[in-house]
A = this chain, B = another copy of it.
Amino acid sequence: MEIDLSRPILERNDTLAAANRVRLAATGTFALDVLASPGAGKTTTILATLAFLGDRFRVAVIEGDIASRVDAEKVKASGIMAVQINTGGACHLEADMVSRALDALPLEELDLVVLENVGNLVCPIEFDLGQSARIVIASVPEGDDKPLKYPSIFAIADAVLLNKVDAAPVFDFDETAFTQGVRNLNGAAPIFRVSAKTGEGIGEWAEWLAERVKAVRAASL
């Protein structure tokens, strides 16, 4: 006999995610789920984005990692409120982890909460966190074939960031193939070319985000 436990686990997660969503809507807080491979530049991109947005929004970051507090420490060093979640082996954030992290934040004073998920292009897909939007950060050194190999995550993205474009001269990266790969899976998501390191393209992406954060804040007033 085989018992499929994935359904009850996901149903429970969906219930908790819905509760997070209600809670965030009530305080007019936008939650951005950030998905990527390990080392694609999630933390650096988040910090560059928040630096660009400056004091336009009141912000916190929830850091998801298997282990360590490295990322939360980096975020705090930039003067931004941060909560670290260690998943203890789990390859993705879950709604109840996020719920407990939200407990630690003054939500009614926040416009934007960034959820940096565990570095993984597979596991987080089925776990709704109650986020307002999901982005996938791909990076040039990873190669242009990632949409072919990890299609689901590109299919569900509300926006795709192609990071480390400053390193393109060093790598054989076919940007047309990458863009076409994303487009075959997802006709709607904008694709932003960025370098979190040099700041290239961060403004355009950050303004896209800012529009959505403002809309959620306005809806709650």
Closest to A148 in B: B68
Interface residues of A in 59-82 (CB under 8 A from B): 65-68, 70-71
Most chain B CB atoms below 10 A, which of A40, A141, A164, A171 = A141
Please classify the interface of chain A as helix (H, G, I), strand (E, B), loop, or mixed, using the class held by over half of its residues: loop
- Distance (whole angstroms) from the CB of A144 to the closest CB of chain B: 10
Q: Does A150 make an interface contact (CB < 8 A)?
A: yes
Taking CB atoms, residues of chain B closer than 8 Å to A166 are 170
CA A119 – CA B139 in complex, angstroms? 14
Chain B's closest residue to A4 (CB) is B5
Q: Does A31 contact B (CB under 8 A)?
A: no
Decide: A148 near B39, CB < 8 A? Known: A3-B5, A91-B91, A170-B170. Answer: no
| Contact A145-B70, Cβ < 8 Å, known A37-B38, A38-B37 | yes
* Beta-carbon contacts under 8 Å, A138-156 to B: 139, 141-143, 145-146, 148-152
Whether, in the assembled complex, A122 has its beta carbon less than 8 Å from a beta carbon of chain B, the answer is yes
Question: Once the chains are docked, how many angstroms separate the CA of A152 from the CA of B89?
Answer: 8
Q: How far is the CA of A199 from the CA of B118 in the complex (A)?
A: 32
Looking at the complex, which one of B5, B66, B143, B152 makes contact with A66 (CB distance below 8 Å)? B152
In the bound assembly, the distance between CA atoms of A84 and B216 in angstroms comes to: 45
A141 partner residues in chain B, CB cutoff 8 A: 39, 139, 141-142, 164, 167
> Does the CB pair B67–A151 fall under 8 Å?
yes
Within residues 11 to 64 of chain A, which ones have a CB less than 8 A from any CB in chain B? 37-40
| Cβ-based interface call for A120 (8 A) | yes
The 23 listed contacts between A and B (C-beta, < 8 Å) are A37-B37, A37-B119, A38-B149, A40-B142, A65-B149, A66-B150, A67-B150, A68-B148, A68-B149, A68-B151, A70-B148, A89-B122, A89-B152, A91-B91, A119-B121, A119-B149, A120-B120, A120-B121, A123-B123, A139-B141, A141-B141, A166-B170, A167-B167
